[in-house]
Structure 1
Amino acid sequence: MDTLSKQQRHNNMASIKGKNTKPEMIVRRYLWHSGFRYRVNNPRLPGHPDIVLRKYRTCIFVNGCFWHGHEGCRHYVVPKTNTDFWVRKIMRNKERDKETQQQLARMGWHCITVWECELKKDRREQTLASLAFTLNHIYLKDRSILYQVPEEETGMCIAAEPEGEY
């Protein structure tokens, strides 16, 4: 049984933000101060990712553990009232997240999910450092693919080498 009236419950649920949440702001502040430039909630991409880094072709989703059903997390507890509704709702959210990430991957985008619990004070620095490392790795990996010399052409002269005899 719910301890709040319908109007109180409605007001509580209506006050929950979907954008500019505290975990999202923590990630955005860290990325900006680390020199990463991004866009927020890009409407042209499926799922409107929380953070989009075009240079890295990467989308970052900052997910709340409850709303996105973070398995094994102490912050994900199914409410004792209206349980069937909440289980269905969270399952739909998880399915939608999966479909969105698959669409983005088919479009050539990398997807990173940062969970709310990973941004708690005891784990925050490690999580954010890991995020920066991953972004730099993606950038270097993509650049090495773009500028990699195919194996069969390794015997060819490079512009800085002296010309051979013809």
Structure 2
Amino acid sequence: MKEVKIETVLEVYSNLQELPDDIQKLMQAAINARNNAYSPYSNFNVGAAILLDNNETIIGSNQENASYPSGLCAERTAIYYAGAKFSNAKMLKIAISASSQNQLTTQPIPPCGACRQAIAEYEIKQSLPIEIYFMGAEGKVVKSKSLANLLPLVFESSVL
């Protein structure tokens, strides 16, 4: 038997203003997208903004449906739109902001497992890491240099 240790390294910023200007702008786009979420069932709004290598910014917000779980998370809404509209563009950075309508969310909220898998697909496809920034409604912002850092044992197509 051999024991393997896996580590994740994250950068933590104390607030939005501590981020570089370009990331503040991207996160503000995610916050604006969050305000367009349709979440009458969970009361949990999420916005995502993706910066592409062609300088386009693609946004998405979670969209729920009474027929759970047929809604879609903000991250996947943005990722799939980016893939459909700019199929040859590479995704460089994604900013995510989440808030509850029931309480103030001050802790950084990372992408769910399904969204991590979707981000992983594009990170593998483009052979380029995607920087991920995430936060709650306010407070600290966390940065991961890649999705592989958040999901180190990724399921990918080479095993199919």
TM-score (ref. length: structure 2): 0.29
Tell me which of the two structures has the higher relative contact order, counting C-alpha pairs closer than 8 angstroms and 6 or more residues apart: 2
Rg larger in structure: 1
